[in-house]
Homo-oligomer: A and B are copies of this chain.
Amino acid sequence: MGASKLDIYSNDINQIAAVAKVFAHPARVAILQYISKQEACICNDIVDEIGLSQPTISQHLKVINNVGLLKGTFEGKSLCYCLNVKRFQELQTLFNQFFNQTKLNCC
């Protein structure tokens, strides 16, 4: 197998898991931290900062972008990756709701 049986879970549960997956790789956590620290939203420096190849970083950025966490001006030579703070906040709230609801029910 190897594939998760997504159809047997509720949408809420699948959403939590999908979002958690973005944070489930250290490179992506490191990228998020790094781009949030950069005032001017630097770009290829991510490759230098983290010890991975450019294609690998690009791949991770795509995953981060797929949940709407990137914001920036994408203009050829001078790209600019920024953290979408509003979306970031939404995901934090999503997690907290899950944690709080689960705690509330507990014995």
Binding site for B on A (CB under 8 A): 4-6, 8-10, 13-14, 16-17, 20-30, 32-33, 36-41, 50-52, 82-83, 85, 88-89, 91-92, 95-96, 98-99, 101-103, 105-107
Q: Quick check: A33 and B13 within 8 Å, CB to CB?
A: yes
Q: What CA separation (Å) do A23 and B9 show in the bound complex? A: 14
How many Å from the CB of A52 to the closest CB on chain B?
7
Copies of this chain in its oligomeric complex = 2
Q: Quick check: B9 and A26 within 8 Å, CB to CB?
A: yes
Interface of A is mostly: helix
Q: Quick check: A17 and B8 within 8 Å, CB to CB?
A: no
State whether A25 and B41 are in contact (beta carbons under 8 Å apart), knowing that A85-B106, A88-B103, A92-B99 are contacts in the complex. no
State whether A96 and B98 are in contact (beta carbons under 8 Å apart), knowing that A16-B29, A17-B29, A21-B24 are contacts in the complex. no
State whether A82 and B107 are in contact (beta carbons under 8 Å apart), knowing that A26-B6, A30-B9 are contacts in the complex. yes
